[in-house]
Chain A
Amino acid sequence: MLLDLRHIYKTYGDGELSVPVLFDVSLQMEKGEYVAIMGPSGSGKSTLMNIIGLLDVQTSGDYFLDGQDMAGKNDNELSEIRNRTIGFVFQNFNLMPRETAIENVALPMMYAGIPRKERLERAAAALEKVGLGERKSFFPTQLSGGQKQRVAIARAMVMHPPLLLADEPTGALDSASGKQVMELFGGLNQEGTTVLMITHEQEVADFAQRQMVIRDGRLHEKGGASA
């Protein structure tokens, strides 16, 4: 089992101003699974994704990633786990604006201590793979939305992490670009990457093997809840 979340609660703030967001969320994913999470705006999808991505911490509950308890890990340990285990794809791309495509893709390898020469070779290969071999030294401002997202996917996968987390990866794209992104995700999943994706669009969610829904902070299997 790659992901094992048990009874996760998340409340923002404390005292009178506290905002409870996640209630007793449990989620298990096997290696190689492809899961889509849907749900209305403000239901807590991103909150859950950030906890799984080790960017945020749950208020209570247990989280095991690849069999390891994530409780009590310090900032540096979490950075290292993110670097090796998790690839992120964001709705707004989050590319470094002053870096070229290839430098953006090479960035995670720098934090892994890989020598620059190898970084650039691997980053170039990753860009080839997402069909941007000709755009290596373009700056983000010189790329279309779909191209930016493909650079982001190349960056997320360049360390070959077992888990890919995508928070509305097609949210800012037209349907053609969105389809390209979905094809890339499908390919990565075929190669064994576990994919967890948040989306608003049913057509996008349909690419996943398993669909889930968050409503009022509670997570349900899609089929199970509606049946």
Chain B
Amino acid sequence: MGENIRISLRGIWSHKMRSFLTMLGIIIGIAAIIAIVSTIKGTNEQIKQNLVGSGTNTVTVMLTKDGMPVSENGGDTGGATVPELAEDDRNSLLSIQGAENAAFYHSRTYVDNVYYLNNSLEGDTIYGIDQNYLDAAGLQLKEGRGFGKVDLTDSRRVCLVNDAVADSAFGGDDPVGKVIDIQGEPFTVIGVVTSSSAYEPVINSETDYYMYMSSGTSTGAIYIPDQMWPVIFQYDEPQNVLLKADNTDDMTSVGKQAVDILDAAIASDSSGSLSYASQDLSQTASQLQQLTSSSNVMLIGIASISLLVGGIGVMNIMLVSVTERTREIGLKKALGAKKRAIRAQFLTEAALLSMIGGGLGVVVGIIMAQLIAFVAKIPVAISIPSIFISVLFSMAVGIIFGLMPSIKAANLNPIDALRYE
């Protein structure tokens, strides 16, 4: 074996140019695969950093019917009574390992009857929140004050707005003290909240993701005491739950456990068609990551075709090599080489040729990945498994495409080979 490797390396080295050209197909194929896989990994890394690493670690748990959140399908529960969430439920949610805070809230998107003077705030989201909400959502007070106990218990008509509303709706005036008209009821703005990072963007596709990433702003939000919710909105919407997890890795498991606890509570309520579902950004991130990965499967397919062409190149050059070395093969057989020894020699050469090509391809691929990462401003994420797989794969390509020439060599008749001119 060592001898075969030594002889093969010398053979490859003695035809440097030819060997290099033969390897080129393999080099390009492997480099493309490494670059693509690393770029996918880098993009995924970035998605995770942007979405999940933003630090809010919030998990939303919503009541759903047939997979749709009830709060977003017009309150259709199919006749089942909407479960009430109480302090007991909150305590059991807080007992979940990794859960730091829990809040109950209502929310409604695209409400049309919201005005500041004659200025419509249509398109903003209205939240009915409890005293835990701001903390659980990772929101901070920027101006004015938050809800006090009295605001909540006395159902005062007060509200908070976020940056986006504060910036756009009040024509540059300080929003604190102004009165917003929601569904015909006047609400006094008592504070402005801000989040250190964009919270809960609605992302259903890569396009949304990139829009969200490039805009960097969140949509408008108006917060009112949850006790006011039934006053301004008529139908009986379910409350949603917002959980804050200790850290990013716990988000999904905290959400799952919360779903189990809340589902157990409504199971006694029978009906059966309602269930809770959790959503956190790490889930959104992994969905997005799948999206980027699947669209790149095609690119990998193209790279594989290049590898196939490279393999055919190896086969071609090995056939040439067998012809060139016919006399040598005849001599070796005369000296006692069995078929296996001849086969092994040519297989070793084919495998080495494409493995060296694969190795060079890995180097080129890493350089390409670094360049792409630099230009596209994504993190460098070289996929280590893809390097090993590539080298093994290129070796396999060499063996597969070297098989036919090496069998041809091994089956040469010694006298015909020795006489070959």
Q: Which residues of A contact B (CB under 8 A)?
A: 50, 53, 55-56, 75-76, 79-80, 82-84, 88, 94, 96, 98, 107-108, 110-112, 116, 155, 159
Contact = CB atoms under 8 A, between A and B. Distances in A.
B339 A83 contact: no
Interface stretch (B94-102, B145-153, B154-162, B325-333): B325-333
A98 B10 contact: yes
Contacts of A84: 336
A50 B334 CA distance: 10
Contacts, number: 56
B3 A79 contact: no
A83 B415 contact: no
Chain A CB within 10 Å, residue with most, of B3, B331, B334, B335: B335
Contacts of A108: 335-336
8 contacts: A55-B334, A56-B415, A79-B333, A79-B339, A88-B335, A96-B331, A111-B338, A159-B336
B12 to A, nearest CB: 12
Contacts of B415: 50, 55-56
Contact of A83 (B2, B10, B11, B335): B335
B414 interface: yes
Interface size class of B (residues with CB under 8 A): 20 to 34
B418 A55 contact: yes
Contacts of A56: 414-415
B232 interface: no
A96 B10 CA distance: 13
Given A110-B3, A116-B3, A88 B334 contact: yes
Contacts of A75: 338-339
A162 to B, nearest CB: 14
Contacts of A112: 336
Chain B CB within 10 Å, residue with most, of A79, A80, A96: A79
A98 B10 CA distance: 8
Contacts of B164: none
B352 to A, nearest CB: 16
A96 B327 CA distance: 10
Given A50-B415, A53-B334, A79-B333, A96 B328 contact: yes
Nearest to A81: B336
B371 interface: no
A98 B336 contact: no
A82 B337 CA distance: 9
A56 B417 CA distance: 11
Nearest to B410: A75
